Chain A
């Protein structure tokens, strides 16, 4: 077949080779995994994948690694930046840390969070957003399309990102995240979960964990309004917090500290890494030990040395009195001592390309002695709760509590009273929670303060019923030695139209997480070997100094839910009353009183009731008098009244019985 085109085609090809000379840049893909023991006996797994595509006008629109779907998304909706996260579980800021790059960029609120910046004129941004939500919902098998309604998204102004106008932000706190969202997310990787590090993602073991969050971030300079074109960068991360199995914790120590459970890659994920994804430029696994842990281990080592046990140099850190690694790392990277902790963290690097099917990679981490340490914390720990009771009104309170960090490092560089801690608060409230912004109260160290003293800037866009949610952005300046701070806002609960209630209205309604950021603080790591860590996108991302960010809890507000069958009941009862009224009116109108009376009389004359006749016969017999038929007119009237009374009592009795038994 089809041999008829050959001559022409070959001619065209020779022409083509002349036309296209050189390739400018290459598409790149890299995969990395970071493992980190957490203080509360859990292990953090952090997968980081990055795909890069060169700009279209130099490279063209056909790619070999970059996912087609994402490229088309960027092209069609002119997305400049996009971030989408699917999260299940809540990041525990107190135990898992709040000051490192992972917690400030990958700890996300439960459910779906999406924000996007578009490169379109301002009046088209909303349309682009709506189309984008539909495309994403199809792409990720999720109900992202609920973000289409203007009551669910907002356009934050200042505190979020430096793009005003073309940024849209929306969250769906109640979205359930599961494997049907993970599979399309994995489809964006060239090897999917067939080879390389993603092969570790055994669904049962991931979803058994305490927290998992899949995250997708996209930056593009395609549309050309930005000067330099660097193409599209797609970052995908998956953060999981898993609990290692604790079968081997038999040894108890004299102190009350319990030894941490030992773990290995195969024990927490249920699989081993059998080789890298052949398409990845780099494929590495890192083990991160935090500063706190490192200093504890060093202390242990010193004690050991005192007691004369080992003489292992600090360089051979992977086997020490505290713990032991089953695989010798290829490289040890040390962090340049950061501001807030005494000791710097250590990063072990393992190159996956050395491992294969026959020799799979299975890092084991065995604790030898109980070690207790804590993670670096954000300057203030934020939590949010509801106050008040009843279905009518309530109040939202955001409370900020200082952690040991702010006391430590802020105390160091205080220039007396001028020291101020900046806190940005961003809060979206759905329209049916009607917040009164004038009721904003600020408490610092449990003392009420005037709002203008503490709130430096505030931007409020009040909600419009059924049109837009309320947005509040605040810049707070708190004194550095603050112990606690609290903000309260009162609100009224609105009424929804009967159509607007979700199927499970009695569960309550979610208020999305508030975003609390500390722009004065930057979470970032500095590594000693700067030149060699350049090739790892994950490490270079860690070195970017991103602002410390934390999300508050999602609040559940119970609203008054109507009896959903009420409208129909009302209709039915009203109609019945009307019908009764009409019927009786009509009957009264056409009643012939005189004729009826005469008819009754004639009837009474014809025959009296059977029972009174019998009764009178009986009484006559008892009295011993001869029975005589009673006079009809008098008995008939008394009979009517008796009958009436009997009927009324019967009906009342039935009603009472009904009430008694059915109630």
Chain B
């Protein structure tokens, strides 16, 4: 009933037909009974509204890139791939330096073919060195990348092995002129002048002198050692190999003394040595020191020697009323107050010892505290008992990466006469003893041995000490390790920076950070290439630079700030507009599209019918 009404209605309003094209109004009501207006239409469905809504939708979609561009935050492009490749290359194959070794044999009988003998010795030394090195060479050693040259010196002619690489040129017989009976220092100097020509290439040499006397092996201050005594060729070869590997390459360290990666150098490549003289109770006695003299005379050469590894600066202060925070008890056996190694974690009293961070030092330099503790009268003399029950000779201890504590008992502190607190100055002799202990502690902090005897598998070796505190071969070891450690730390810092940056996609990254990362990578590459060519100093310097730049980038103030423009923020600002509008637009487009499809189907149905009909 109603449908019929509707069909009969259209002629009443002819203006509609002219206005709206897609209304399914038959232009001329045919008396065809099979026309169903619900499923058919006679005109083509119009495209106007569909076109309109789609245009709006597309213009919105086109606007999106512009919006994203306008709310984009600046991120300097970081070379993520280079960072990854650097950390991969450093982790997969540790930095190895090329090293040159030479062994000089003097006074061995040369009945057999000398050529062959030199070669044979060379091979035997190489083999033994290979056996001594561990499977996974630690970072900064020379394994796998060395040459051994062997020379048999018989006074007038020298025989060298063939694959010894570049043996350095020194006059044959020059070493024989060295008198090995002299004092050790004298021998050392003579050898240095004899082998001096080899100094530039950093060749480590061992001189083996076969004579009729007790065997003794000495490692000098420069890059050479000597073995004098009754030795067979085979013994000599094994000793030489051991000196090369254990002393010259590994620095004579015992395993597990201090973990190799600890290097007390700040991220900016500097160390501040902060010396503190702690008077536990100035009411008993007041001790002072003449630190200016220590600084000028004793510390200056050490600072100079360590230049390749770190910039060292020195400061000092005297503090008063600084009791220790652990307890000690009287022991009759030692006639003094004893504290044991178990108390050491509680010895440093951080409440009363104001060992401040330094204003003079930069932000990321490492401060090594050296505390000289003068006990009060209630606990004097104060002695450190080792776990084996003995009393420590140095009366001091170190804390890795923090520094060292030396307990110095004032002379005559047991005598009872004590009236007024008097001012004393620590005598130069005592100060010198304190300083020796400090030197030992500093060497330990750097991971070196603090005594002068190395006991290896095939003999014990005397190590000569340098007046600079560190011998040349020790400095080589330090700078190799330092380079390696710096590169490792640079790679991990850059790696974490890249992870951080990738995990926060809306963090602002300044151009400066990008530059720092770039320069850091460049410096790291330079350090690697220098290391592979054996230029220790340059590689140490550029590795230090790489690390400090990487740290600068990581700790850049703009990264530290929390106020980055988060995505949530962006969403909260723009969603009140885009959410409703986009919903409207999308729904409209969807509806129009559906309707168009529906109407088109109707039209097609009608057409098909018309075709059938005609």
Q: Which residues of A contact B (CB under 8 A)?
A: 1-6, 8-10, 12-13, 15-17, 19-20, 60-65, 67-69, 72-73, 75-76, 135, 138-139, 187, 190-192, 194-195, 275, 278-279, 568, 571-572, 574-576, 578-580, 582-583, 586-587, 589-590, 592-595, 598, 601-602, 605-606
Say which residue of B5, B19, B318, B436 sits within 8 Å of A5 (CB atoms): B436
Closest to B468 in A: A8
| A4-B452 in contact given A62-B316, A187-B354 (Cβ < 8 Å) | yes
Stretch of B228-236, B295-303, B502-510, B529-537 on the interface side: B295-303
User: B297 touching A63 by the CB < 8 A rule?
Assistant: no
Contact residue among B394, B438, B441, B576 (Cβ-Cβ distance under 8 Å from A572): B576
Q: Which 10 A-B residue pairs are closest in the complex by CB-CB distance? A: A2-B440, A575-B577, A579-B580, A4-B465, A575-B576, A60-B292, A194-B321, A583-B584, A8-B467, A1-B440
- Give per-residue flags for B509-532: 1 if the beta carbon is below 8 A from chain A beta carbons, else 0: 000000000000000000000000
Give chain A nearest CB distance to B481 CB in angstroms: 21
Chain B residues whose CB sits within 8 angstroms of the CB of A76 once the complex forms: 359-360
If A4-B451, A598-B9 touch, whether A279 touches B286 (CB-CB below 8 Å) is yes
Residue of A whose beta carbon sits closest to that of B24: A595
* Central interface residue in A16, A20, A587, by most chain B CB within 10 Å: A16
Neighbouring A residues of B356 by C-beta, 8 Å: 68-69
With A6-B432, A278-B421 given, is the CB distance from A65 to B23 under 8 Å? Answer: no
- Chain A residue at minimal CB-CB distance from B438: A2
Which residues of chain A are within 8 angstroms of B290 by Cβ–Cβ distance? Answer: 20
CB-CB contacts below 8 Å: B335-358 with A: 354, 356, 358
Given A191-B321, A602-B2 in contact, is the A62-B436 Cβ separation under 8 Å? no
Which residues in A have their C-beta under 8 angstroms from that of B451? 1-4
Contact A582 B581, beta carbon cutoff 8 Å: yes
Which chain B residues numbered 276 to 335 have a C-beta less than 8 Å away from chain A? Answer: 282-283, 286, 288, 290-293, 295-298, 315-318, 320-321
A-B pair number, CB within 8 angstroms: 184
**A62 contacts B291, C-beta separation under 8 Å:** yes
Contact B577–A579 (Cβ < 8 Å): yes
Question: What does DSSP make chain A's interface, helix, strand, loop or mixed?
Answer: helix
A1 touches B393 (CB 8 A): yes
Identify which of A3, A12, A590 contacts B297 (C-beta below 8 A).
Answer: A12
Residues of A within 8 A of B20 (CB): 592-595
Chain B positions within 8 Å of A574 at CB level:
577
Which among A5, A63, A592 is the interface contact of B469 at CB below 8 angstroms? Answer: A5
Asked if B585 lies at the interface with its beta carbon under 8 angstroms from chain A, I say yes
B585, A586: Cβ atoms closer than 8 Å = yes
B: number of interface residues (CB 8 Å): 75
Cβ contact within 8 Å between A602 and B23? no
| Additional A-B contacts beyond A12-B467, A72-B358 (15; CB < 8 A) | A1-B394, A2-B443, A3-B452, A5-B467, A10-B429, A13-B429, A16-B296, A60-B295, A63-B318, A278-B282, A578-B577, A579-B576, A579-B579, A590-B52, A594-B16
Q: Is the CB of B297 within 8 A of A2?
A: no
Instruction: Give the docked Cα–Cα distance between A257 and B204 (Å).
Output: 96
- Interface class of chain B by DSSP: helix
Chain B residues with CB under 8 A of A8? 465, 467
**Which residues of chain B are within 8 angstroms of A583 by Cβ–Cβ distance?**
580-581, 584
For B574, what are the chain A residues with a Cβ–Cβ distance below 8 Å? 575
- Contact (Cβ within 8 A) B23 A592: yes
- Chain A positions within 8 Å of B172 at CB level: none
Interface flag for B56 (CB, 8 Å): yes
When distances are taken between beta carbons in the complex, the residues of chain A under 8 Å from B494 are none
Min distance, Cβ A285 to any Cβ of chain B, angstroms: 19
Complex CA gap A574/B440 in Å reads 74
Residue of A nearest to B6 (CB): A602
B165 to chain A, nearest CB (A): 34
Tell me the smallest distance from the CB of A218 to a CB of chain B, in Å.
14
Closest to B284 in A: A278
B588 within 8 A of A: yes
For residue A618, give the distance in angstroms from its CB to the closest CB of chain B.
26
Query: Are B360 and A62 in touch, CB under 8 angstroms?
Result: no
> Contacts A73-B359, A76-B359, A598-B6 hold; do A586 and B584 have CB atoms under 8 A apart?
yes
CB distance from A25 to the nearest CB of B (A): 14
Contacts A/B (CB < 8 Å), 27 sampled: A1-B451, A2-B441, A2-B450, A3-B451, A4-B465, A5-B439, A13-B428, A15-B297, A16-B297, A61-B315, A68-B317, A68-B358, A72-B315, A191-B320, A574-B577, A575-B577, A579-B580, A579-B584, A586-B53, A586-B585, A586-B588, A589-B53, A590-B49, A595-B23, A598-B9, A598-B23, A602-B5
Residues B432 and A576 in contact, CB atoms below 8 Å apart: no
A2 lies within 8 A of B437 (CB): yes
- B6 x A69 contact (CB < 8 A): no
**B564 contacts partner chain A, Cβ-Cβ < 8 Å:** no
The complex places the Cα of A450 from the Cα of B111 at a distance, in Å, of: 120
Q: Contact at A9–B435, with CB atoms within 8 Å?
A: yes
Given A2-B450, A590-B588, is A9 in contact with B52 using a C-beta cutoff of 8 Å? no
Contacts of B3 in A (CB 8 A): 602
Q: A16, B428: Cβ atoms under 8 Å?
A: yes
Q: Are B56 and A1 in contact (CB under 8 A)?
A: no
- State the CA gap A621–B589 with chains docked (Å): 51
Assess the B321–A1 pair: CB atoms within 8 A.
no
B466 nearest CB neighbor, chain A only: A8
Given the contacts A65-B318, A279-B282, A594-B23, A17 and B292 also touching, CB distance less than 8 Å: no
- Establish whether residues B317 and A63, one from each chain, have CB atoms under 8 Å apart when the complex forms: yes
Q: Complex formed: what's the CA distance from A180 to B446 in Å?
A: 37
B573 in contact (CB, < 8 A): yes
B2 lies within 8 A of A605 (CB): yes
B119 lies within 8 A of chain A by Cβ: no
Assembly CA distance A592 to B46 (angstroms)? 12
- B592 sits at the interface (CB 8 A): yes
Interface string of B38-81 (1 = CB under 8 A from A): 00000000000100110010000000000000000000000000
Shortest Cβ gap from B322 to chain A (Å): 9
Within 8 A of A (CB), among B126-148: none
Measured CB to CB, the closest approach of chain B to A239, in angstroms, equals 25
> How many angstroms from the CA of A625 to the CA of B283 in the assembled complex?
123
Chain B nearest Cβ from A592, distance in angstroms: 6
The docked-state distance in angstroms from the alpha carbon of A578 to that of B5 is 43
Q: Specify which chain B residues have a CB less than 8 angstroms from the CB of A72 in the assembled complex.
A: 315, 358-360
The listed residue with most B CB atoms (<10 A of its CB), out of A3, A10, A572, is A3
Residue of B nearest to A77 (CB): B359
Q: Are A195 and B293 in contact (CB under 8 A)?
A: no
Instruction: Across the interface, name the chain B residue whose C-beta is closest to A9.
Output: B432
B421 — which chain A residues lie within 8 A by C-beta? Answer: 278
Residue of A1, A16, A76, A187 ringed by the most chain B CB atoms within 10 A: A1
Q: For residue A135, which residues in chain B have a CB less than 8 angstroms away from its CB?
A: 359
A568 to B577, CA, bound (A): 12
Task: Identify the closest chain A residue to B588 (Cβ).
Answer: A586
A595 to B586 Cα, complex, angstroms: 22
Cα–Cα, bound, A509→B253 (Å): 64
Bound complex: CA A62 to CA B294 (Å) = 10
Q: Which residues of B contact A138 (CB under 8 A)?
A: 359
Q: Is the CB of B292 within 8 A of A9?
A: no
Nearest Cβ distance between residue A500 and chain B, in whole angstroms? 14
The residues in B between 438 and 473 inclusive whose CB is less than 8 angstroms from any CB of A are: 438-441, 443-444, 450-452, 463, 465, 467, 469
Whether the pair B428, A17 counts as a contact (CB closer than 8 A) is yes
Q: Could you tell me the distance between the alpha carbons of A1 and B444 in the complex, rounded to whole angstroms?
A: 10
Quote the shortest CB–CB distance from A623 to chain B (angstroms): 28
A580 contacts B580, CB within 8 Å?
A: yes
Determine if B360 and A75 form an interchain contact, defined as CB atoms under 8 angstroms apart. yes
Q: How far is the CA of A643 from the CA of B180 in the complex (A)?
A: 122
Taking the closest CB of chain A, its distance from the CB of B38, in whole angstroms, is 11
CB-CB under 8 A from A2, the residues of chain B are 394, 436-441, 443, 450-451
Residues of B within 8 A of A75 (CB): 360
For B592, the chain A residues whose CB sits under 8 A away are 590
Contact of B282 among A4, A191, A575, A579 (CB under 8 A): A191
Cβ B283 vs Cβ A195 within 8 A? yes
